[in-house]
Amino acid sequence: MANLKEVRVRIASVVSTQQITKAMKMVSASKLRRAQGAIQQIRPYAEGLQNMVGRLVSGLDGSTAEMPLTTVRDVKRVGIVLLTSDKGLCGGFNSNLIKTARRFIQDLPADQQATLIPVGRKGVDFFKRSGLPQDLRFKDLMLKIRYQATAEMAAELSKAFIQGEYDQVVVVYSEFKNPVVQYFRVMPWLPLQAEPSSASSAGAGPGVADYLYEPGREEIVRDLLPFSLAIDLHKAMLDTQASEHGARMTAMDKATENAGDLLRELRLQYNRARQAAITTEITEIVGGAAALAG
């Protein structure tokens, strides 16, 4: 009977766990719908803005003296913005982001110094004892993603780049494809460079429209560059958030299925143990009756 009691306790524990994972799956699914809508809305805007800024930058004829955010320098100090979640229970989502960042750091030349800029507590916790310099000013921004806070972060990092604290800034994030598939990317963020396709389309080739700029190309670029950088960073954060909810929903769905499989095994084990106990009791009763009759 002690064995039966132990199995009953395990069954109750697994049922309770299954209820929790099922609830977490439903919550993640609800959050995913909102996050997926947000990233689907910002992607066309961000891509259009990036193409426009790329065309404008490529048409500056190399005049970047007043465009410090586009200045390419010898890379000695690299800032790595690592976007992770603040909570766990999302499968290998955070570990894959951290692996991507570690791989990028390991591939840096020996004369380049990396500074980690974690956004999300999982990245902070992992690299806490790594000895890697960290800038922890933005670690809580993933708790509630707001464009205003992202723009302030982009402005501070841009200022640090202009002042020479960083010669290059990259963003490690997760690009959302669907709830099951995420792509872990390293996005060059600073200095901002024109895309090759944008540069080729900036020339006065046949079929390519030319524009008159007011007040002027350089003035427009100077105003658009900070805004474009903030939008790119905000899109990466929304991508990572949607990927987190998708990974958690998938992980909780799998955990719920595993709990169901374990419940079936435990109930089968319980029924077998109960039948064995009943058989033993019947055998003892029959044996006692035979002894009395004899």
Cα separation, 175 vs 183, in Å, equals 5
Q: What is the pLDDT of residue 61?
A: 61
Q: What is the pLDDT of residue 288?
A: 81
Q: What is the pLDDT of residue 197?
A: 42
Q: Give the pair of three-digit tokens for residue 249.
A: 């929903």
Q: What is the pLDDT of residue 18?
A: 94
Q: What is the pLDDT of residue 13?
A: 94
Is residue 243 predicted with pLDDT exceeding 90? yes
Q: Give the pair of three-digit tokens for residue 250.
A: 């998938």
Task: Name residues whose C-beta falls within 8 Å of residue 106's C-beta, 6 or more positions apart in sequence.
Answer: none
- What the chain holds in terms of domains, given with CATH numbers, is 22-200+210-250 (3.40.1380.10)
Q: Give the pair of three-digit tokens for residue 292.
A: 């009395």
User: Which of the residue ranges 39-48, 182-191, 206-215, 233-242 would you say has the lowest mean pLDDT?
Assistant: 206-215
Is residue 291 predicted with pLDDT exceeding 50? yes
Nearest to 156 by CA among 81, 58, 71, 219: 81
Is residue 161 predicted with pLDDT exceeding 50? yes
Band of the pLDDT at 46, cuts 50, 70, 90? very high
Is residue 11 predicted with pLDDT exceeding 50? yes
Is residue 72 predicted with pLDDT exceeding 90? no
Is residue 68 predicted with pLDDT exceeding 70? yes
Q: What is the pLDDT of residue 199?
A: 39
**pLDDT digit string, tens, across residues 260-286:** 999 999 999 889 888 888 888 888 888
The residues annotated with a catalytic role in the active site are 90
Strand 77-83 to 168-176 pairing? parallel
Strand 77-83 to 113-119 pairing? parallel
Cα separation, 106 vs 100, in Å, equals 10
Q: Write the single-letter amino acid at 62.
A: G
- Main-chain dihedrals φ then ψ at residue 122, nearest 5 degrees: -65, -40
**pLDDT digit string, tens, across residues 115-148:** 999 999 999 999 998 889 999 999 999 999 999 9
